[in-house]
Amino acid sequence: MAKPVIEIRDLTKVYKMGDFEVRALNGVNLTVDTGEFVAIMGPSGSGKSTLMNILGCLDRPTAGTYLLDDVDVSQLDRDERAVIRNAKIGFVFQSFNLLARTSAVENTELPLLYGEFGWARAQRRKAAMDALHRVGLQGREQNQPSQLSGGQQQRVAIARALVTNPAILLADEPTGNLDSQTSEEIMGIFQALNDEGKTVVLITHEPDIAEHAKRIVHVRDGVIQQDQRIAQRRAAAAKRAAS
Amino acid sequence: MKNSIQRMGNITIVGLKAISRNKLRSFLTALGIIIGVGCVIAVVAIGNGATKSVENTINSLGTNYIMVFPGASTSGGARMFTGNSALTPEDAEGIKQECPAVSYVSPTVRTAAQVVAGELNWGTSIQGASTDYPLIRSWNVAQGTFFTDADVKAAAKVCVVGSTVVDNLFPNADAIGQIVRIKNVPFRVVGVLEKKGGNMMGQDQDDTIIAPYTTVMKRLSGKTKLDMIQVSAASADQVQEAQNQVDAYLRQRHRIPPGGDADFQMRSQEEIAQTQAASMGILRNLLLAIAAVSLFVGGIGIMNIMLVSVTERTREIGIRMAIGAKGRHVMLQFLFEAVTLAIVGGVIGVGMGVGASVLVARFLKWPIIVTPTSILMSFGVAAAVGIFFGFYPARKAARLDPIDALRYE
């Protein structure tokens, strides 16, 4: 029996805009077990982004509890959340968000500079290299983002997310800026990582991307509308070869 | 603890990389500090040098030195400095005889002329003096002899020349015995003065010709009054006494009632030193104020660029925060960038300041004194400017919300 890595109970997020109150999340309950591949879907304004921000410990809920890897992270302050993000969460963003004029391996190393790792330079470098190799970027370690294709940049971002060995990979529209073939490649990487046991949470609004997951959660109007498990996930067309 | 030290190191490297990625901009940012620190170093070095130089020249006047020069005079009820001197050679002669506290007296007249020797000519200042002059100024001849009392009495056409004049008129020959024509009057060179160097105003004291005052008055300037009487007190203790005696004597001679305005003024070496020090001090404070302003402007430049940089790198800040940078890590990174810019600017500024001082020293012939204190102070101030003006942008960066920062376009 897999143990839960994410447990959300009655999660509410209210934004105050002057006299108005916007209830972005209105009592969300969600459990994600270790090794799952969950896609969170929903139209814009559904509360999907708010949920993703809270899942990623970028924001905290107005009410409700959020246990991440058995730690209650729902009421942590800024700095404590930074530590949790560093240790437990690997982010992959739509726009890659790599540092410009910084090599792939240095971008990958970045999270190791901030955490409680206490690793020597060589150890960090090795971890970054390993992560880059896991996403199929052998030979591109010294390339800067401007010298890499979109797909390769997203692979660097995935390597950066992996390097700390986080509890979850949190991917926010990771294929939004990529063509369909490259999207397939990226989804292939996520699937392969999931096969190796990584928990992946994917936020997307594209159904055919969501179909790569094993479970699709539909969010609408701040609540979970539908939670379906996919018996046969869609296999990514391309495998993990370097492109 | 070990981790946080290591993390500090990591963040430092991050800051350094950001600076080296934007070399031109970093340089322009630091330019304000470079100029500011350069100014401070140069001003302090030149100021110290000038003060030293003033001390040297004033001391070289001798501690017994007193200058008597014409003062305001009253004519028809209107009191003014007319430029017409009331001092006569007889005044000088009388001072020497009637004032026991005075040991040497030289009547002095000055003029400037183009001096010709053979093919060469040179514009210089001509001083008329008596044989006491070398004793008053402790300035001896290096070659030949000074002119004699007989020369003065006879208004002989003889002169002694400074070393700069020799260099320009007799570059390859012995000057002694040569003829120089001053305003078409031929003078025979009897002596060459010792090299004395620049004075406190940066003037070359060796660029001069000294002739008997009688000759200068009769043949060159046509003046009947003196420009100045230079006096030497018998000893350093008697300067005040000598001044009192000269004052009493001249008042009596010029029939000035007690309490009336004298038609002459006196300055002792010490008073000259004080006046000079005061004006030097004002000049130095003025320049330091300018330097302080430029450091301030430099600091604002750093703040400006850091603010631009924070805005421009909002995305980067968001990324760093998303992957685990705490607010204070981001703050340290930007603060470190600002301080590094300021300190690198400071280092370059020290170099430029020293360079500028050396140039000034060469052209103005002032000694320069670069003190370690001024260098350390400049560093300190530069670092402080970096921290002070880097703080606000750094805090702004640290307070960004990661969600907004990531979404920033």
**Tens-digit pLDDT profile for residues B123-133:** 899 999 999 99
Bridge partners, B143 (sequence order):
B192
Specify if A13 maps to a domain. Answer: no
Does residue B121 sit in the same domain as residue B224? yes
Q: How many residues does chain A have?
A: 243
Specify if A153 maps to a domain. Answer: yes
Are residues B28 and B351 in contact, defined by beta-carbon separation less than 8 angstroms?
no
Chain B residues at the A interface, defined by Cβ less than 8 Å, are 2-3, 6-7, 10-11, 14, 17, 21, 315-316, 318-329, 402-403, 406
Which chain A residues contact residue B403 at CB under 8 A?
Answer: 53, 58-59
Does residue B45 sit in the same domain as residue B121? no
Interface contact flag, B21 A101, Cβ < 8 Å: yes
pLDDT at residue A237, as a whole number: 60
Q: What is the ipTM for the molecules in this complex? A: 0.91
Domain that holds residue B388: 2-57+275-407
Give how far A231 is from chain B: nearest CA, Å.
Answer: 33
Interface contact flag, B324 A114, Cβ < 8 Å: yes
Confidence of residue B371 (pLDDT cuts 50, 70, 90): confident
Q: Tell the burial category of A165 from Cβ atoms under 10 Å away from its Cβ (0-12, 13-18, 19+).
A: exposed
Does residue B174 sit in the same domain as residue B131? yes
Specify if B268 maps to a domain. Answer: no
With 90 as the cut, is the pLDDT of residue B3 above it?
no
Token pair of B144 as six digits: 């030949």
Interface contact flag, A99 B316, Cβ < 8 Å: yes
Token pair of B160 as six digits: 């002694």
pLDDT at residue B83, as a whole number: 60
Which chain A residues contact residue B321 at CB under 8 A?
Answer: 82, 85
Last residue of a domain, one of B195, B230, B262: B262
Token pair of B324 as six digits: 């685990």
B interface mutation test: which of A60, A85, A96, A113 has the most B CBs within 10 A? Answer: A113
Confidence of residue A240 (pLDDT cuts 50, 70, 90): very low
Does residue B181 sit in the same domain as residue B220? yes
Q: Which residue has the higher pLDDT, B253 or A159?
A: A159
Work out how many domains chain A is built from and give that number. 1
Specify if B171 maps to a domain. Answer: yes
Specify if B270 maps to a domain. Answer: no
Are residues A37 and A200 in contact, defined by beta-carbon separation less than 8 angstroms?
yes
Which chain B residues contact residue A116 at CB under 8 A?
Answer: 3
> CA–CA separation, A94 vs A170, rounded Å?
11
With 50 as the cut, is the pLDDT of residue B22 above it?
yes
> CA–CA separation, B393 vs B331, rounded Å?
8
Interface contact flag, B406 A160, Cβ < 8 Å: no
pLDDT at residue B199, as a whole number: 65
Does residue B49 sit in the same domain as residue B79? no
A76 touches chain B (CB under 8 A): no
Nearest residue of B to residue A56, measured between CA atoms: B322
Helix (H, G, I), strand (E, B) or coil at A189: helix
Token pair of B231 as six digits: 């006096």
Domain that holds residue A134: 35-59+78-229
In the predicted model, what is the mean pLDDT of residues B105-117?
Answer: 90
Are residues B259 and B248 in contact, defined by beta-carbon separation less than 8 angstroms?
no
Does residue B78 sit in the same domain as residue B159? yes
Specify if A215 maps to a domain. Answer: yes
Count CA atoms closer than 13 A to A128's CA, side-chain side.
Answer: 24
Cβ neighbours of residue B373 under 8 Å, at least 6 residues apart? Answer: none
pLDDT at residue B80, as a whole number: 57
Specify if B119 maps to a domain. Answer: yes
In the predicted model, what is the mean pLDDT of residues A92-103?
Answer: 90
Strand B228-233 versus strand B179-182 pairing type: unpaired
Nearest residue of A to residue B5, measured between CA atoms: A118
Of the listed ranges B293-297, B310-314, B322-326, the one predicted with least confidence: B293-297
User: Domain containing A158 — which CATH number?
Assistant: 3.40.50.300
Does residue B107 sit in the same domain as residue B53? no
Token pair of A181 as six digits: 């073939």
- Residue in the block written with tokens 């968000």: A97
Specify if A73 maps to a domain. Answer: no
Which chain B residues contact residue A85 at CB under 8 A?
Answer: 321-324
> CA–CA separation, B379 vs B33, rounded Å?
10
Which chain A residues contact residue B315 at CB under 8 A?
Answer: 97
Q: What pLDDT digit, counting tens, does each position of A191-201 carry?
A: 999 999 999 99
Confidence of residue B82 (pLDDT cuts 50, 70, 90): low
Specify if B141 maps to a domain. Answer: yes
Does residue B226 sit in the same domain as residue B94? yes
Interface contact flag, A114 B326, Cβ < 8 Å: yes
Of B14, B319, B326, the CB nearest to A97: B319
Of B3, B322, B327, the CB nearest to A91: B322
Does residue B81 sit in the same domain as residue B221? yes
With 60 as the cut, is the pLDDT of residue A243 above it?
no
Of the listed ranges A33-47, B143-157, B289-303, the one predicted with least confidence: B289-303
Which range, B60-64, B197-201, B208-212, B281-285, is most confident?
A: B208-212
Which chain B residues contact residue A164 at CB under 8 A?
Answer: 324
Per cent of chain B over pLDDT 70 is 94
In the predicted model, what is the mean pLDDT of residues A113-119?
Answer: 82
In the predicted model, what is the mean pLDDT of residues B142-168?
Answer: 91
Of B21, B319, B403, the CB nearest to A59: B403
**What's the pTM?**
0.70
Does residue B337 sit in the same domain as residue B290? yes
Q: What pLDDT digit, counting tens, does each position of A58-83 carry?
A: 999 999 999 999 999 998 999 999 99
Specify if B67 maps to a domain. Answer: no
Are residues A57 and A51 in contact, defined by beta-carbon separation less than 8 angstroms?
no
Interface contact flag, B318 A160, Cβ < 8 Å: no
Give how far B308 is from chain A: nearest CA, Å.
Answer: 17
Specify if A5 maps to a domain. Answer: no
Work out how many domains chain B is built from and give that number. 2
Cβ neighbours of residue A34 under 8 Å, at least 6 residues apart? Answer: A2, A3, A4, A5, A167, A197, A199
Interface contact flag, A97 B321, Cβ < 8 Å: no
Nearest residue of B to residue A79, measured between CA atoms: B326
Chain-wide mean pLDDT for chain B? 84
In the predicted model, what is the mean pLDDT of residues B65-90?
Answer: 71
Does residue B46 sit in the same domain as residue B91? no
Which chain B residues contact residue A58 at CB under 8 A?
Answer: 322, 402-403, 406
Last residue of a domain, one of B215, B239, B262: B262
Nearest residue of B to residue A87, measured between CA atoms: B324
Confidence of residue B2 (pLDDT cuts 50, 70, 90): low
> CA–CA separation, B282 vs B352, rounded Å?
24
Interface contact flag, B324 A115, Cβ < 8 Å: yes
Does residue B239 sit in the same domain as residue B364? no
With 70 as the cut, is the pLDDT of residue A15 above it?
yes
Specify if B153 maps to a domain. Answer: yes
pLDDT at residue A165, as a whole number: 93
In the predicted model, what is the mean pLDDT of residues B96-113?
Answer: 90
Q: What pLDDT digit, counting tens, does each position of B231-268 carry?
A: 998 888 888 888 889 888 888 888 888 777 778 888 88
> CA–CA separation, B341 vs B27, rounded Å?
8
- Comparing CA positions, the residue from A153, A68, A163 lying closest to residue A114 is A163
